[in-house]
Structure formats: structure tokens, C-alpha cells
Amino acid sequence: MKLIELRVDAEKPVTLEKFLTGQKGVSRRLLTRLKRQSGGITRNGQLVRSIDEVRQGDVIVLHLEDDSFLEPNGSLNVPIAFENESLVVFDKPSGMPVHPSIRHQGDTLGNWFAHLYPELTFRSVNRLDRDTSGLCVIAKDALAAKLLQGSCKKVYYAAVHGVIPERGTIDAPIARERESIILRCVREDGQRAVTHYKRLKCSGKYSLAEIDLETGRTHQIRVHFAHIGAPLAGDDLYGGLREDIDRQALHCGRMTFSDPLTGEQITVTSELPDDILSLFEKE
């Protein structure tokens, strides 16, 4: 059970439903679940109905039950870059999936989370590919997950083949390769995808790009840079070579979001891992 405390700051009395769904971003699905749950919502310590009015200064407490769990694995070790009562941001290493799958049942970020927080449900807000390293935010409750979804501003860093322009925008639609479940490609009938980048350094063989995604399509960074003839180093799925690094050289290095409870802007950063940095020390 997790308790979320919300203080009413409305100038005029409003119904509890309007306060929660209109002002605090609580989904109607979550509200329905809380209404059905014994003692799900209280006002100043007393049970309250969604049709009841709440006033400035009232303290509303949501009593959230988590009912799904992953197998905990305490042998893993993923650094925490930031944490508060609503969320935790992990600095995920490459090679670790975020979610369990048929091939990965106990070695995922979800399994490590289950070890650290056995009473909570694993709710990832942003999903990184297994071999992409960097920041991954996990909400500690359903409300935080809803408020964070789509609101996290992420900056990626990638080492790509060759010398790219100092700045650029790649605006090219992305679709699924017709014969593949995994592969994506640039195709006219795909979904609009826009990637902004600037070059931070260049070794001659590789360029380090800072990337700002305007859209968030599957494999967008990997597909877009391959499309302009500069595939990510190590990304052999999209034409990159593995002679200097054995995974796609992609890292989520900065994330900005609003705290779900206070609205405070929070920025979390992660340094480039050694395997990407080493690409610019070889020449």
C-alpha cells in the first residue's frame, strides 16, 4: 500500500472527482479503482465520495494498492541517478533489458527494481533498448506513471560513423520493414519522425552527436542516422560496424521532467560510458 497526499488549493469548492481528474491528472480508470477499493480515498482522515465537495486546505489521501510483481534479483546492481517518493531514475548499463521477455526472465531492470521495492509495481516511463545505456525513469505508483508519461524530455548521445554536419534535422517517416518484426526503415507511408542533432566532437572515423527527438518512433535514432549514411557505431542491425564497440553506441544522458507531486522541474544527467568515450581516444 502506498499513500499519496494531495492538498486542495482551489479557490472555490469543487467535487472530489473534478479536483482529482481536472487538477491533479488522476485518470478516470484510477479513480474508479480507488472508489471500488475499501478506504481508497480519504479527506482529512475520513472516507470521501467522488461527488463530495472539497475545499481549500483539505488534505486528500489516495490509498494505492500494487498488485503485480516481478521476480526479485538482488545479484544485479544498477546505480540510482535520482530518487524521490514518486519515482526512481536508474542509470541502466548496456546489455540489460528493461522488461522481462522469453529470453530474459531474471536479468532485467524490472527484476532489480523488484528486489529494491518488493511492495511496488514496476512501471517504466521510458523504455530503452537492451543495448542502449543511460537514464530510465520508473514511477512508483499509477498516478506518477500517468503524469510522467509523455512529459519526460530526453537527450541522447550517439557515436556515429563518419563526419556529420555541425547541426541538422532528419525529417523522414519510419515504418516497419514488411518482412521483419524488429527492423524499421524510412518509407513514405511510415509515421512522421523528426530528429534534431548537433555534433559535439569528431575523431574523423566517428562523430559524437547530441540528439533531441521531436517524435519517439521505435529505433528512430538508429534508423535516421543510418538513413543519412552515418549509422551508429556497433549497430550492425542498421549498418554500423562492431570493430571498435560491440553494441550500438547510444546513451540516454539527460532527462528533464516535472515532479508529479510538486511540479518542480527536475533534470538528471548521466555521463557517457567508457566504451563510447573510447571511440574518440583512438585517433
Strand-pair category, 46-47 with 87-92: unpaired
Is 131 among the catalytic positions?
Answer: no
Tell me which of 58, 129, 131, 141 is the catalytic residue: 129
Q: What angle do CA 211, 193, 163 make, to 5 degrees?
A: 40
Residues involved in catalysis? 129
